[in-house]
Amino acid sequence: MKTTVIGVDCPMNLPEHFISCDWGTSNFRLRVVETHSLEVLAEHKTDRGIKAHYEKYQCQQEVSQFQFFAHYLKSQRQQLPEGHRQHRIVVAGMASSNIGLWELPYATLPFSQDGKQLVRKQVAKDDLDLLLISGVRSTNGIMRGEEVQAVGLEEPLRPYSEGILLLPGTHSKHITFANQEFRSFRTYMTGELFDIISKQSILSRSVEPASWSDDRAQAFQEGLELGFSGQLSASLFTIRANHIISKHNPKDSYYQLSGMLIGDELAYLKDKSETIILAAPDPVFSLYQQALKSIIEPQQLVLLGGKVLEKALLIGQKKILALHGN
């Protein structure tokens, strides 16, 4: 027996299947989705994000930008089961940016949780049937991809009249909402800064990637406290100094650095009274959960794990597909 995802209607004019495309800055993913149940029938992933693919496009002059991106999309579609390669592809993420497949203008704030204000465009060209979804801009910020996840989280957000939705990542988004409407957002470059500092800065010699364990929790908490204090810039070099002077374990320092950056990102939430909702996959979810529990009252915090967020993108894409129709 098929099940319908709670809170997601399935109009009669929707196709039985669609291909979900999530083409971000750093990664590419296709999923064959059964529309009614949102069951994922097949999945294919690569590390060819928009940034890397655009750089390759710039190194040639033979074909247009659309053709270059479309060729890659079609080549990766071949990795899906043969009977599911011709479905409509619903595309979220950076593919609709100026360095992507087909540029769309940004939607503007506010936008409702049903997704009706998001810009969408059907492109039937070069043996592709695409439904592209735009990003959203504010007066001083932009996002592409997270808005689809936010729309897909309409159901778990519904009990709360107002709050802040946290979507950690390379460029973490904090999206404020009230009365079923997304009003504003902030972007934090936490993930990218961690990658740059841990791999390219002088601190790279003092940190070593390691899997999470209880032994790392204290180092992470120490980093959080420094981040919460607003002393990020003044504290960063202590990681190098402690390694040289006190012989600190680089694996502990790896999590101390993470704590500093996450603490700095979340520090302002100490003064907030509205509901804080965290949606993220592990291991990021566990780190942000520990950080938030340090500064947020339990009754103020709502935790949504990676499975909820994974489904949210598909729910959001399905909602946009339903709005567009056949």
Q: State residue 12's pLDDT score.
A: 53
- Are residues 295 and 318 both part of a single domain? no
* Nearby residues of 238 by Cβ (< 8 Å), 6 or more positions away: none
pTM reported for the whole predicted model: 0.91
Rounded CA separation 88/135 (Å): 20
The pLDDT tens digits of the residues spanning 150-192 come to: 999 999 999 999 999 999 998 999 999 999 999 999 999 999 9
pLDDT computed for residue 3 by the predictor? 30
Count structural domains, the chain: 2
> Does one domain contain both 149 and 225?
no
Q: Identify whether residues 152 and 196 lie together within a single domain.
A: no
Token pair recorded at residue 96: 């609709």
Q: Which helix (H) or strand (E) segment is 40 a member of? A: strand 39-46
Give the three-state DSSP class for 184.
strand
- Amino acid 178: pLDDT: 97
Q: What is the DSSP letter of 162?
A: E
pLDDT above 50: residue 6? no
Residue 148 lies in a domain: yes
Percentage of the chain modeled with pLDDT above 90: 90
pLDDT tier at 4 (50, 70, 90 boundaries)?
very low
- Residues 39 and 90 grouped into a single domain: yes
Tell me the residue range of the domain where 98 lies.
Answer: 17-157+310-324
Element (H, E) at 131: strand 128-133
- Inside any domain, residue 174: no
- In the DSSP assignment, the letter for residue 22 is E
CB-CB contact of 89 with 128 (8 Å): yes
pLDDT digits (tens, 9 = 90+) for 182-214: 999 999 999 999 999 999 999 999 999 998 888
Query: Rounded distance, CA 241 to CA 274, Å?
Result: 39
Indicate the average pLDDT of the chain.
93
pLDDT of residue 152: 97
Q: Has residue 94 got a pLDDT over 60?
A: yes
Tokens found for residue 195: 């990658």
In a domain, 151, yes or no: yes
Answer yes or no: is 91 within a domain: yes
Mean pLDDT of the region 294-313: 94
- Helix (H) or strand (E) holding 136, with range, is strand 136-137
The answer to whether residues 217 and 147 belong to one domain is: no
Locate tokens 């690569």: which residue? 46
Distance (Å, whole) CA 158 – CA 22: 25
219 plus 100 within the same structural domain: no
